[in-house]
Chains A and B, each alone.
Chain A
Amino acid sequence: MDAATQKPENVASAPVAVAPAIHIAPAPHLFGGVLTTRRMMVDVLLALVPVLVASLWMFRLYTVLQLAICMVSALVAETVFTKMRGRRPTLGDGSAVVTGAILAFSLPATAPWYVGFIGAFVAIGLGKIVFGGLGQNIFNPAMVGRAFVLIAFPVAMGASAYVAPTAGLDGLTQATPLTALKMLGQSTGLLPLFLGTTNGSLGETSALACLIGGLYLCARRTASWEIPAAAILAVAAISGLLGVLGPRTGWTLFHDLSGGAFLFGAFYIATDPVSSPLTPKGKWMFGAGFGALVMLIRRMSGYPEGVMFAVLIMNALVPLINRWAIPTPVGGPVPVKKTA
């Protein structure tokens, strides 16, 4: 072979033809590939299965109806709004379905149809699309939707909404544990709180179901374990302290942990990657702040439960937390070059 044979026109006749389509791309050439955005969303849906089972057991058809309304509305909203922006529809990534499901699980069983419908449209439209779509939103979309309908329809969403005397299920005729505590000073037993045989939003009643699904999410690393861990520690610490300072009859820190939407929020909502901090340190701060705010709102405000507002407030703080929690690289910060 001489130099001439290295010219490209002879390449085709070479014994090893470059018949395979060789293409180039930047390194790395291998891709972990196990976890895609879509797969993360599927994980969340899988993790919601225990919650769904608990909810079906407790609220029967109300669950199915509410989930159907919210998920379908979320998908329709996603299609409509992405089309308005002239983008490709992004239904395939599953984020709209997840938003719809989380919203549905955070609503009262008997909330009328338009609550879920409008909530889903606001969640997708105002919660996500106006910020630039998936990955750009500041706030958890489902919680934006829920906050909107809570303020828009206080009767259908407030404490009174959970007590539905006309409902066909026994559970629905009692006040939620936190409302009962706040308004009547009545404490609910730990076992019903843990198993979820109490009234409340569709997904929040069973602490057990939230724990099972949440641990699955953390094990899959779809959710960062730091956030729920920090949140649980914060709530336990504050509730324990308050319990020591001024005990409430029959209400312990375990009640605070398993009552209300706390576990549901800590595992499924606060861990939303888009609206939570990036670094482990930031996640600890975020989780602890979330837990502290939940306790603050529960004890000091007019609302019996504070998960939604706690999530939204902490979401707003995320850019700040990200700034505080910039990690120092191994070997220390980049030395500042002295300008010549």
Chain B
Amino acid sequence: MSQDGPTPLERFINGILPENPVYRQILGMCPTLAVTNSMEGALTMAGAVAFVLICSNVLISLIRGLLKPHLRILVFTLTIATFVTIADRVLAAYMYEMSKQLGPYVPLIIVNCIIICRCEVCASKQGLRAALTDAVGQALGFTLGLASIATVREILGSGTWFGRWLGWRVIPEAAPQHWSPWVVMVLPPGAFITLGLLMGAVNWFAARKAK
């Protein structure tokens, strides 16, 4: 089933920047917009996605020889749903605070297009090594995307970075006439604006580099 294409290493690197799921493929927008108002939420979500992505990619790659074309999406969904449920339960058991904060967005990983996309284009056609490196690369790329947005939003919106876990305050607290955190950054509009501006910046740099 092997075919010409990127080597596993290239797949790994591709996932991080050249084909970054958030900035280049514009996939997985729901968590990107919903849970990036703090680093903690972003990283927990990225971790959960990474877990599901890696596990399903590996499993699909292992059973790729048995897949029937018209049933493959069903099998993908079944697999993903299982791992998502496991991730959700584990979070509820061991990271109750984060689980409460992320709310429905962990179960919603099931419909995250990154995972089904990787299953479809990579895992169901490639060997175990390729599928694994691809999943890890994509997961890292997704983490990078979420973390970059969360960094901007948390610093501007709350003045902190990893405020809940590490308590780092980036912008010192000041009297309201001198400075105030931007509440809009904590709210959904902040996610849209930040994503748009960062995506614009990424494209701008890409265009400059291409010149």
Question: Which residues B155-188 have CB closer than 8 A to chain A?
Answer: 176-180, 182-185, 187
In order of increasing CB-CB distance, the 7 nearest A-B pairs are A152-B184, A152-B182, A151-B184, A112-B177, A153-B180, A152-B183, A154-B183
CB nearest neighbor in A for B182: A152
Fill in one digit per residue for B104-144: 1 if any A CB lies within 8 Å of its CB, else 0: 00000000000000000000000000000000000000000
User: Can you show 17 pairs from A to B with CB atoms below 8 A apart?
Assistant: A112-B176, A112-B177, A112-B178, A112-B180, A114-B179, A114-B180, A118-B182, A148-B184, A151-B184, A152-B183, A152-B184, A152-B185, A153-B180, A153-B183, A154-B183, A155-B176, A156-B180
8 Å CB contact of A153 from B182, B187, B189, B193: B182
B204 to chain A, nearest CB (A): 8
List 5 additional contacts besides A151-B189, A153-B183; criterion CB under 8 Å: A113-B177, A114-B180, A126-B193, A152-B183, A155-B176
Interface size on B, as a range, is 10 to 19
Question: Which residues A143-190 have CB closer than 8 A to chain B?
Answer: 148, 151-156
B132 to chain A, nearest CB (A): 40
- Chain B residues closer than 8 Å to A118, beta-carbon distance: 182
- Chain A residues closer than 8 Å to B187, beta-carbon distance: 151
B193 to chain A, nearest CB (A): 7
Fill in one digit per residue for A177-210: 1 if any B CB lies within 8 Å of its CB, else 0: 0000000000000000000000000000000000
Q: In whole angstroms, how far apart are the Cα atoms of A113 and B176 in the complex?
A: 10
The winner among B183, B185, B189, B200 for most chain A CB atoms within 10 A is B183
- Chain B residues closer than 8 Å to A154, beta-carbon distance: 183
Question: Which residues B63-98 have CB closer than 8 A to chain A?
Answer: none
Fill in one digit per residue for A89-113: 1 if any B CB lies within 8 Å of its CB, else 0: 0000000000000000000000011
The winner among B178, B182, B184 for most chain A CB atoms within 10 A is B184
- Chain B residues closer than 8 Å to A148, beta-carbon distance: 184
- Chain B residues closer than 8 Å to A114, beta-carbon distance: 179-180
CB nearest neighbor in B for A115: B180
CB nearest neighbor in A for B178: A112
- Chain A residues closer than 8 Å to B176, beta-carbon distance: 112, 155-156
- Chain B residues closer than 8 Å to A153, beta-carbon distance: 180, 182-183
8 Å CB contact of B183 from A112, A130, A151: A151
CB nearest neighbor in B for A118: B182
B159 to chain A, nearest CB (A): 13
B144 to chain A, nearest CB (A): 24
Q: In whole angstroms, how far apart are the Cα atoms of A151 and B180 in the complex?
A: 12
Fill in one digit per residue for A124-143: 1 if any B CB lies within 8 Å of its CB, else 0: 00100010000000000000
B103 to chain A, nearest CB (A): 22
A124 to chain B, nearest CB (A): 14
- Chain A residues closer than 8 Å to B178, beta-carbon distance: 112
A206 to chain B, nearest CB (A): 26
A190 to chain B, nearest CB (A): 34
- Chain A residues closer than 8 Å to B189, beta-carbon distance: 151
- Chain A residues closer than 8 Å to B179, beta-carbon distance: 112, 114
Question: Which residues A278-302 have CB closer than 8 A to chain B?
Answer: none
- Chain B residues closer than 8 Å to A113, beta-carbon distance: 177
B23 to chain A, nearest CB (A): 17
A209 to chain B, nearest CB (A): 28
A66 to chain B, nearest CB (A): 13
Q: In whole angstroms, how far apart are the Cα atoms of A113 and B185 in the complex?
A: 19
B122 to chain A, nearest CB (A): 35
CB nearest neighbor in A for B177: A112
- Chain A residues closer than 8 Å to B182, beta-carbon distance: 118, 152-153
Question: Which residues A291-321 have CB closer than 8 A to chain B?
Answer: none
Q: In whole angstroms, how far apart are the Cα atoms of A31 and B74 in the complex?
A: 68
Q: In whole angstroms, how far apart are the Cα atoms of A148 and B183 in the complex?
A: 10
CB nearest neighbor in B for A125: B197
CB nearest neighbor in B for A166: B177
Q: In whole angstroms, how far apart are the Cα atoms of A156 and B200 in the complex?
A: 30
B182 to chain A, nearest CB (A): 4
- Chain B residues closer than 8 Å to A155, beta-carbon distance: 176, 180
- Chain B residues closer than 8 Å to A152, beta-carbon distance: 182-185
Q: In whole angstroms, how far apart are the Cα atoms of A126 and B193 in the complex?
A: 9
- Chain B residues closer than 8 Å to A112, beta-carbon distance: 176-180
